[in-house]
Chain A
């Protein structure tokens, strides 16, 4: 996951370099053309008769369904349930991940012994743990919270552990000279230096806790956006189902953007300057 994040960031960074005005307009025109082409493909495929009627509803119907959803009280109840699950699982997973990452990164032997467990468990499909979590926590929100938290834990722990190892030993020695306690060292040296891995971990963590919570809602739940999409699927109300999916994607990218914009704790530049 971290590798993907780097791929994504690297590529978008190179794509976002300062460009001459004419190039900017060419790229913008290409993007608009691409978006129109994708919409046209969708509409033509829907009308072509290649698929069963109603399988690919027109974007007009999807927009209508979105409007209806956004003006219904029931939708906000499901949104509240999913938001609660995602936020709590995100907080639990990321907090645990940060603590474990700090321990693994700062203590070499502990890291050598235990980090391979996390490293190799991280890319396994977490959804398969859902039956165990359903047995342990029931079909309500807590099994979803548990799965979301497990999902968010791994990238956070690995990112923080790697980040801790990159903290300059000079800073740690300065801390020792000032007789800082462990908590002070974490707060005053590790955390400021860890802003980039924390921000990345939080972004990946949020993304996959959303996936964890929603997938478990799809499988077995009593409320939530995943449950709602599942219900629309079973009723073959495809426009409504797609409207829920579009809203989920918009909310997920909104959360991603918010973290990217606001996770700027004490200036990382200060720490970089000391390296």
Chain B
């Protein structure tokens, strides 16, 4: 009796719809994107939104082609990429060295780890005028700001990773009479690498954010300067294109490093 009643209250078709969605999430996401871009195009063409301040996607695409053909986007991308790479390399080497120093003595770790943790959540990018005064308005300031931003997470994760190396591995090293340097390069560093990589990944993201941000603020360098410059020229379609390009590059980078991190952690 109860079953019959339920069947009459909730039709079977509705039940199936609630259990299994009509579209897979990926398809729904893509459809939403297509719909949003289509709506923007129509709204811009029919004057529902101001086509000068918010150009239609087709105009932005033309702007994208324009900055590619002019060579501006490629040159800016290479420059930003190299600056971010230099900043990350400095940040990673410095960060791992300081992380090792914090790991090397329990007291030093206790005394200064909380300082690094405070620096990791402090708005360090606001210090860029100080670096501008020290290094001048050039790539050094941008690289220094990128390195400063990416160092705290790398330091913390390097220390965590080195602290977490299994004592049995260190004992094996001692049994083979490894020197401290061999112990670090052959045992501690490889064993801590998956954890350190998490820090490097977060650090790289911070480096990119700082590099592009400072480029934009001081209107010097790569992609950040390009956006600032196109805005100053009131070339809004190309400016939107450059902004979306930065967003897409960040997303691609974040996605790839996320996959790499998962792979590294699973192979630990």
Among A3, A7, A135, A248, residue most surrounded by chain B Cβ atoms (within 10 Å) = A7
Q: Which of A94-102, A118-126, A180-188 contacts B (4 or more CB under 8 A)?
A: A118-126
A residues touching B (Cβ–Cβ < 8 Å)?
A: 3-5, 7-12, 14-16, 19, 23, 26-27, 30-31, 34, 51, 55-56, 109, 112-114, 116-117, 120-121, 123-125, 127-132, 134-136, 203-204, 207-208, 210-211, 214-215, 218-219, 226, 229-230, 233, 236, 238, 241-242, 245, 248-249, 252-253, 256
Tell me, in angstroms, the Cα distance from A214 to B125 when the chains sit together: 10
Whether the pair B112, A123 counts as a contact (CB closer than 8 A) is no
**Cross-chain contact A249 with B123 (CB below 8 angstroms):** yes
Determine whether the beta carbon of B133 is less than 8 Å from that of A15.
Answer: no
Smallest Cβ-Cβ distance to A50: which chain B residue = B134
**A-B contacts, CB under 8 A, total:** 175
Q: Could you list 13 further interchain pairs (A-B, Cβ under 8 angstroms) beyond the known A113-B32, A218-B129?
A: A11-B113, A12-B113, A12-B114, A30-B107, A109-B25, A112-B25, A113-B28, A120-B254, A218-B128, A233-B133, A238-B130, A245-B127, A249-B126
Residue of B nearest to A120 (CB): B251
Stretch from B166-174, B180-188, B239-247 forming part of the interface with A? B239-247
A131, B228: Cβ atoms under 8 Å?
Answer: yes
Name 6 interchain pairs, CB-CB below 8 A, sorted by A. A120-B255, A125-B246, A128-B213, A130-B216, A136-B54, A252-B123
Residues of B contacting A: mostly: helix
Q: CA–CA, A10 to B164, complex, Å?
A: 14
Residues of B within 8 A of A (CB): 21, 25, 28-29, 32, 53-54, 107-118, 120-123, 125-130, 132-134, 152-153, 156-157, 159-160, 198-199, 202, 205, 208-209, 212-213, 216-217, 223-224, 227-228, 230-231, 236, 239-240, 243, 246-247, 250-251, 254-255
Residue in A117, A125, A256 whose beta carbon sits within 8 Å of that of B213 in the complex: A125
A131 pairs with B25, CB closer than 8 A: no
A124 touches B251 (CB 8 A): yes
Whether A8 contacts B156 in the complex (CB less than 8 A), given A23-B107, A127-B216, comes out as yes
Residues of B within 8 A of A253 (CB): 118, 122
Query: How close is A145's CB to chain B, nearest CB, in angstroms?
Result: 17
Question: Inside 8 A of B254's CB, which chain A residues have their CB?
Answer: 120, 123
**How far is B26's CA from A116's CA once the two chains are assembled, in angstroms?**
10
**A245 and B130 contact, CB distance less than 8 A:** yes
A-chain residues with CB within 8 Å of residue B29 when the two chains form the complex? 113-114, 116-117
Q: Output the least CB separation between A90 and chain B (Å).
A: 13
Asked if A56 and B227 sit within 8 Å, CB to CB, the answer is no
Task: Kindly report which residue of chain B lies nearest to residue A131, judged by CB atoms.
Answer: B231
Taking CB as reference atom, which chain A residue is nearest B109? Answer: A15
Contact partner of B110 (CB less than 8 A), chosen from A15, A117, A249, is A15
Measured in the bound complex, the distance between the Cα atoms of B160 and A208 in whole Å is 25
Q: Are A27 and B250 closer than 8 Å at their CB atoms?
A: no
Chain A residues within an 8 Å CB radius of B224: 125, 128
The answer to whether B130 touches A125, judged by C-beta atoms less than 8 angstroms apart, is: no
